[in-house]
A and B are shown apart, each in its own frame.
Chain A
Amino acid sequence: MSRDELDPLLQRALDELPDELAPDRDLWPDIRRRLEPEPAAQVPQRRRSWRVPVAIAAAAVLGFGAGALWDAPPAPAPAPAVAVAELPEPPSWEAGMRSAAAELEARITDRPLDPEAEASIRESLRQIDAAIEAIHAELREDPDNAELDAHLVRVWEHKISILSAAAHVPTARG
């Protein structure tokens, strides 16, 4: 560093600059919230068996292929045409989605389902949850990426649609 090139006036002022500038408020609570995982209670994933007719489960899986769920999140890019204001604020809308998912899961918990269909739907939801986590990880790196936000919305909507289908289908025999 060529400090000796500095004007003496500027050099003196720089020497007096403090090494630290504390924030006006304690940032740790917000940081901790971002570091700690979401409470698992709202999204029970290991529940008693869910069973839906095979056709519903197959349609759910085919409607959103596993490959699409694992597509790499879009690279950070210039803003899309959709205005930022049209995108929901992540914390409140996603909390609403989690709440809706939990409610639907509670409804279908005791519904007798075909084991094959149950396994299929369970796998779909596992992949969706993994995709949600992956998108969150990307958003932590690039929090202003509107395409990632939109992708997250689509994935949540698909999860809700699968759960809705399972919750409203007539129960299977036996």
Chain B
Amino acid sequence: MSQAPADTHAVLDLTARRAQEGDLAAFEELYRENVGRIHALAVRMSGSRARADELTQDVFVKAWTRLDTYRCEARFSTWLRSLAVRAIIDGMRSDKRRRARQERAAPPRSTPPARMGRVDLERAIGGLPPKARQVFVLHDIEGYRHDEIGEMLGIRPGTARGQLHRARQLLREALT
């Protein structure tokens, strides 16, 4: 059997197979390869880097326990991203319940930056209202459809469209 270098995804899928057999070192390789992407999703969905660290951990812990559901027909990164989206949304629902319990005031959102730029858009996304932020991230960054977003967030597709419109409007204002 050829051992010639394969593309990154093929190598990762073989690593995923090893992880499925309980190889924690293989799972660590998968973590290192995917953590940047998952953490970006967590930061943008939650609006908090501190919370994103916790959510990212939760994603990988859940991925380890659900590895048996990964089918090697799809790329591991695709499977992981789908799991991450749902895990992060679940985590944020728990946050909402915890906030209601603790009655903690939300930190003041950053004011919109004065000029356009990569970092400024990141900050502006973090400053969006939670639902608008989630819809924007899922639609315009992650590429989900409105019906998919509606199913994940428990809202109607029409509501998702409205939230997206609102998010884009606010971001435009922030970037100009």
CB within 8 Å of B: which residues of A? 1, 3, 6-7, 9-10, 12-14, 16-25, 27-28, 30-32, 34-36, 76, 78-79, 83-84, 140-144, 146
Contact = CB atoms under 8 A, between A and B. Distances in A.
Contacts of B53: 23-25, 27
Contact of A9 (B58, B95, B98, B176): B176
Contact of B116 (A3, A13, A17, A144): A13
Nearest to B36: A20
Main secondary structure of the interface of B (DSSP, over half): helix
B94 A14 contact: no
B39 interface: yes
A140 B63 CA distance: 12
A143 B101 contact: no
Contacts, number: 110
B56 interface: yes
Interface residues of B, number: 46
Contacts of A22: 35-36, 39
A18 B94 CA distance: 28
Given A28-B32, A83-B101, A143-B58, 10 more contacts: A1-B144, A12-B116, A13-B120, A14-B141, A16-B121, A22-B36, A23-B52, A27-B56, A30-B57, A144-B98
Interface string B69-104: 000000000000000000000000011011011100
Contacts of A28: 28, 31-32
B145 interface: yes
A1 B161 CA distance: 12
B140 A14 contact: yes
B31 A144 contact: no
Interface stretch (B7-15, B151-159, B167-175): B167-175
A14 B62 CA distance: 29
A78 B97 contact: yes
